[in-house]
Structure 1
């Protein structure tokens, strides 16, 4: 693993080489500690994560006759300059992300919010201006290497030809040297089965897509190693229930939901109709109902036999009728 990390850092530095001198300086810092400081032949090398800050110091040898001196921090262009006279700051001009930190025998600058394109050699120069002639009091060079760790994600995707594919995506890393390998059940997958796409982003960072066609429901993981990481990252991809049954289960779930909604609607309609029917058959509270009169017309056709006398039949009629009054008078 240590050899692998050293090889990655070698590729990282090689990818930033713009000149023979710069490459030689960077390659000599291969074995420096990531995120720390190292020094070679008086040249300081600092490795910083993107978005962080770095302090660049500049030592110098003050002389007793120095009345006024200037301090400059520059790369390809001037970043910060100031003039001091008798420990008083006369002129000060710096970029927004650079802050001057005054000290007695050392000048220090804080460069904040470093981005990938801030990688390069920073030169700090201290020059005596008064009394003339000008004299160089100190000069230091610091190489700043800005790195960015990858943002890794894994997911299931479906290609245009219908194949089931898994994707491991590493975004925004710098430098470009990265190891990204698929793992199957804890073992490394054959690299030849992986389809990779590399892309350079506008901020000079890199993005790597790794695709792997699969036909089973096994556990897969994406293993990523980069010089900005203290240890490799492993992201696990949970397997689906089964690639072949995913579509069928989706349709079954949809049909079940539709049938359940229809059943609820039917039950609601039936209950509403029963409620309306009951409300129509029961009279409102407080309303009296007059019973239908019972007619006794059938009594006229019946004959009542008296238990007295010779048992002559007596016509039966309602009480108080004219017929009964006649019989009584007789």
Structure 2
């Protein structure tokens, strides 16, 4: 059937260009969108630092008038080029437009990034003059704000003859973090520990891991996070252990009396 269609068209052709258009009409037309319109990238930045969002569009005609905007959850900054000059329309305090005339490059700088600034940023270039308006460029950049953990280890208290030790990883982002105990350089079974996780008001995370010790040897906390170049290892030496045991032997009665009075007060309040 297709060959019959070709013969019918060829029989009606009286010009080369006419035949070409008629033959092309037999095939589906696919309009390829400019690959630059879907350009995207990923940037990782530490909290409190700045990031540069590139637009990667170089104006080719000085007579054109167009707008350049940066969007995230809302519009962060908008500028307009008119008569070879830039006019700032509206920009947030932590965002500014950067124009480098020598290289004909433009971008946006977002400063003092916080955890809640993590997300997708979109640079949009739209031509306004001459009309009608036309989208010239749309580029997406995903910005990941990261925060390394603040790691510390200490003796939490003595539940028995030997103290309970705690490892604290505080204020880290993103949430994925590995935290394990080591005894004399060997990893302890996770069932011997218990942990407390919480989310902080600024969106960061905190993880506390507790271990009930049975002797005074080298206990270490091993922490790994995507923000660290290598795992962090903090160690409590036997001297720390013995010093802590001596303190609780001398002042254990104070801890016991204080705890008893506290629970007694709570009991009285509940009864009343």
- Same fold, TM exceeding 0.5? yes
**CA deviation digits over 1:103-130, x for unaligned, max 9?**
2432211111111111111000111111
- Indicate the residue corresponding to 2:73 in structure 1: 76
Matches within 5 A, 1:243-322: 244-248=245-249
2:174 is equivalent to residue 175 of structure 1? yes
Deviation digits for residues 202-221 of structure 1 (CA, Å, limit 9, x no counterpart): 11111001000013111111
The 5-angstrom pairing of residues 208-227 of structure 1 reads 208-227=207-226
Give the conservation status (yes or no) of the 8 Å contact 1:79–1:94: yes
Distance 1:71 1:217, change over 3 A: same
Tell me the SS of whatever aligns to 1:156: strand
Within-5 A mapping of 1:1-330:
42-64=39-61, 66-104=63-101, 105-158=104-157, 164-238=163-237, 239-241=240-242, 244-248=245-249
- Look up the SS of the partner of 1:192 in the other structure: helix
Deviations 1:16-75 (A, max 9, x none): xxxxxxxxxxxxxxxxxxxxxxxxx73111111111111111022524374321110001
How many Å separate the matches in 2 of 1:191 and 1:244? 24
For 1:310, the equivalent position in structure 2 comes to none
Unaligned runs of 5+ in 1: 1-40, 252-330
Q: CA RMSD in A?
A: 2.2
How far did 1:242 drift? Answer: 5.6
- Which protein has the bigger strand share? 2
1: CA distance between counterparts of 2:249 and 2:44?
53
CA shift in 2, pair 1:71/1:243, >3 Å: closer
Deviation at 1:182, TM superposition (A): 0.7
TM-score, normalised via structure 2 length: 0.72
Task: Structure 2: state its 5+ residue gaps.
Answer: 1-37, 253-272
Mark the CA change 1:98 to 1:65 in structure 2 (over 3 Å): closer, same or farther.
closer
**Is the CA contact 2:146–2:172 (under 8 Å) kept in the aligned structure 1?**
yes
Q: Is the 8 A contact 1:169 1:209 kept in 2?
A: yes
Q: Contact between 2:161 and 2:245, CA under 8 Å: does it hold in 1?
A: no
> Could you say which residue in structure 1 is the equivalent of 2:12?
none
> Given the two structures, how large is their TM-score scaled by the length of structure 1?
0.60
Deviations 1:67-111 (A, max 9, x none): 321110001200000111132122342111112111243221111
- Name 1:309's counterpart in structure 2: none
Instruction: Give the Cα–Cα distance (whole angstroms) in 2 for the partners of residues 120 and 73 of structure 1.
Output: 13
